[in-house]
Amino acid sequence: MAATSPTPAPALTAERILEATEEVLRRHGPAKATVVDVARALGVSHGSVYRHFRTKAALREAVTKRWLDRTSELLSGIAAGAGDPEARLRDWLRALFDAKRRKAGADPELFATYMVLADESGPAVSGHIADLIGQLTGIIRDGAGTGVFTVPDPAAAARSVFHATGRFHDPGYAREWERPEAEADFGALVELLLRGLSSR
Amino acid sequence: MAATSPTPAPALTAERILEATEEVLRRHGPAKATVVDVARALGVSHGSVYRHFRTKAALREAVTKRWLDRTSELLSGIAAGAGDPEARLRDWLRALFDAKRRKAGADPELFATYMVLADESGPAVSGHIADLIGQLTGIIRDGAGTGVFTVPDPAAAARSVFHATGRFHDPGYAREWERPEAEADFGALVELLLRGLSSR
DNA sequence: GGAATGACAGATATTGAAATCTGTCAGCTG
DNA sequence: CAGCTGACAGATTTCAATATCTGTCATTCC
C-alpha cells in the first residue's frame, strides 16, 4: 500500500490553501471572503490555516503575489528574446496591455477582486513593478548596445516608458480599455515613445 | 436711502451658493456635506437652494466645474503664448504638474474632497480633459507649422502626450508626487516625449 | 407676483446591540 | 511529536430601528 493516500486527504500544504483561497475569493468577493470560509472549503479548522500563514493579510498577499508572478513570467519570455529590441519592446508592451485588458474584460468581478487585493499589498505590487521595469531596462539596454536606441540611461528610459504607458496597464484605468479609441491611442503612444528612444 | 441693503442680505445668487458649498465641503468633507448645511451657512431654508440648483448632484457638479475651470484658465495662458512651441509644451506640462502637486500637498483633505467630487461628475471631467487636450493640440500644431515637431496628426499626438503624462496629473497618483524621484521621472518623461515629437 | 418658507414622503445615513471573524494556544490525535 | 483542533478574547461586521436628508409644493411674505 502507498504511504500517501490517493485522494482523500492530500496533506494540507501552502499551495492547496492558496488555491482554496482563490476559489473563495472568486465566489464570495474580497469583502466577504473569510479565513473560516477557506478552512471550510478545505475541510479543516481555521487554526490549521494559521499554521501556514501568520495572518489573513499574509494569506491575501501570497495570493496577490502568485497572481502578479504569472504576468511577470509571461512577459519575461518576451523580454529575454533574441530579436530586434525595437520589435521586442513593441511586443512586450502589447502583451502587457493585452493580458490586462483580456483579464479585465473576461471576468470583471474577479479583476475587481484582484484590484482590491493589490491595493492592500503595497510591497508586493512595488516589487512586481520593479520587476517589470527591470525587464524593460533589459530590452532598452540591448537596443542601446546595438545602437537602435540612443539613450544615456536605459534604466531611466525604462521607468519613463513604464510610467508613460500606465494608462494601458494600470488597473485603475480598466474602464477605458474597452473604449473603441483605446486601440489607436495605445498604438500612437507606443510609436511616439519608440521615436523618442531612437531619435539621433 | 439706498434701495439695496449695504451688507445684511446680499440677495441669494448661484455664485453665493457655490461659495458657501465650497466652504461646507471644506469643513465637513464630501460625505457629510448636506444641502441643509449649505442653506444654514447662508441663513436661508434649503428650499431656496433648490431654486437655483435642481439637485444636490447638480450643485456639486457646478462646484467641480468651477474648480476645473480655474486650472484650464491658468494653462490656457501658457498654451496661447507666442514663443517656441517646444518651450511652451515644456512649460505647459510643468505648470499642470506643479499646480496639481501644490494643491495635493498644501491641503490633502480638500484635494481628497475634490477627487470624490470629480469621480461623481464624469461629464464635467471629460469636458475638462477634452479642453486640456485641445490646448495641447494647439501647441503641437504650432510646432508642426514651424517644423519643430514632425507629427502627421497634432490632435493624436496631443492625446498621446496627455495620456503619457497621466502619472503626473491624474489625481489617482497624487501619493507618488511627493516621492523624491518624482521630479527626475517627470523631467525624463517630458524629454523623451519631446524627442519623439521632433524626431526626423 | 416673484422669491422664500417649512411641512411632508420617500430615500439615505447613523447607531448600538448581536453575530461573526481573527488570531492564540492548551490540549488532543494518529 | 508534528500537525490539527476547537474554545476563547478582542476586533470587526451585520442588521434593524431610528434619525437625518433630499426634493416637492402649497402657502406666506414682501
**Other CB atoms within 10 Å distance of the CB of residue B170:** 18
Tell me the nearest-neighbour CA distance from B14 into chain A, angstroms.
34
CA angle, A84 as apex, A83 and A86 as ends, to 5°?
135
Tell me the nearest-neighbour CA distance from A189 into chain B, angstroms.
5
Cell numbers found for residue A64: 496577490
Q: In chain A, which segments carry CATH 1.10.357.10? A: 56-198
Q: How far is the CA of B41 from the C1' of C13 (A)?
A: 21
If interface means Cβ-Cβ distance under 8 Å, which residues of chain B face chain A?
156-157, 159-161, 163-167, 172, 184-185, 188-189, 192-200
- Residue B12 and residue B3 in contact, taking contact as beta carbons nearer than 8 Å: no
* Residue of B159, B163, B181, B186 to mutate for A, most A C-beta atoms under 10 A: B163
Q: How far is the CA of B28 from the C1' of C4 (A)?
A: 26
- Nearest to B172, CA basis, from A44, A119, A153, A144: A119
Kindly state the helix (H) or strand (E) to which residue A78 belongs, with its residue range. helix A56-79
What value does the mean pLDDT take over residues A20-45? 95
Query: Hey, are the CB atoms on A164 and B159 less than 8 Å from each other?
Result: no
Kindly tell me if the per-residue pLDDT of A4 is higher than 60: no
Second-level CATH architecture of B62-198: Orthogonal Bundle (1.10)
Q: In chain B, which segments carry CATH 1.10.10.60? A: 1-53
| Closest-approach residue (CA) in chain A for B194 | A196
Q: Helices (H) and strands (E) in chain B — how many of each?
A: 9, 0
Q: In chain B, which segments carry CATH 1.10.357.10? A: 62-198
Tens of pLDDT along chain B (200 residues) come to 333 334 455 788 999 999 999 999 999 999 999 999 999 999 999 999 999 999 999 999 999 999 999 999 999 999 998 889 999 999 999 999 999 999 999 999 999 999 999 999 999 999 999 999 999 999 999 999 999 999 999 999 999 999 999 999 999 999 999 999 999 999 999 999 999 999 76
Rounded CA-CA distance B139/B198 in Å is 13
pLDDT of A9: 55
Query: Hey, are the CB atoms on A188 and B156 less than 8 Å from each other?
Result: yes
Start-to-end CA distance of chain A, whole Å, equals 72
Length of chain A, in residues: 200
Q: Which nucleotides of C are covered by protein (CB under 7 A)?
A: 3-7, 14, 20-26
Rounded CA-CA distance A43/A9 in Å is 9
CA A37 to chain centre: 25
* CATH pick for B1-53 out of 1.10.800.10, 3.40.50.2300, 1.10.10.60, 3.30.360.10: 1.10.10.60
The position carrying cell 497621466 is: B166
Tell me the nearest-neighbour CA distance from B152 into chain A, angstroms.
11
- Residue B164 and residue A189 in contact, taking contact as beta carbons nearer than 8 Å: yes
Rounded CA-CA distance B192/B185 in Å is 11
pLDDT of A10: 73
Indicate the average pLDDT of chain A: 93
Kindly list the distances between the CA atom of residue A108 and the CA atoms of A102, A103, A175, B89, B185, in Å, as whole numbers in the listed order. 10, 8, 10, 38, 32
What dotted CATH number matches A56-198?
1.10.357.10
| Closest-approach residue (CA) in chain A for B195 | A196
Query: Hey, are the CB atoms on A192 and B166 less than 8 Å from each other?
Result: no
Q: How far is the CA of A142 from the C1' of D28 (A)?
A: 82
- Chain B residues with CB under 8 Å of A200 CB are 199
Quote the radius of gyration of chain B (alpha carbons, Å). Answer: 21
Which nucleotide minimizes the distance between its C1' and the CA of B50? D23
- Residue B142 and residue B85 in contact, taking contact as beta carbons nearer than 8 Å: yes
Name the residue among A159, A164, A188 with its Cβ closest to that of B159.
A188
> How does pLDDT run across A63-85, given as a tens digit for each residue?
999 999 999 999 999 999 888 99
pLDDT of A5: 36
Cell numbers found for residue A137: 531596462
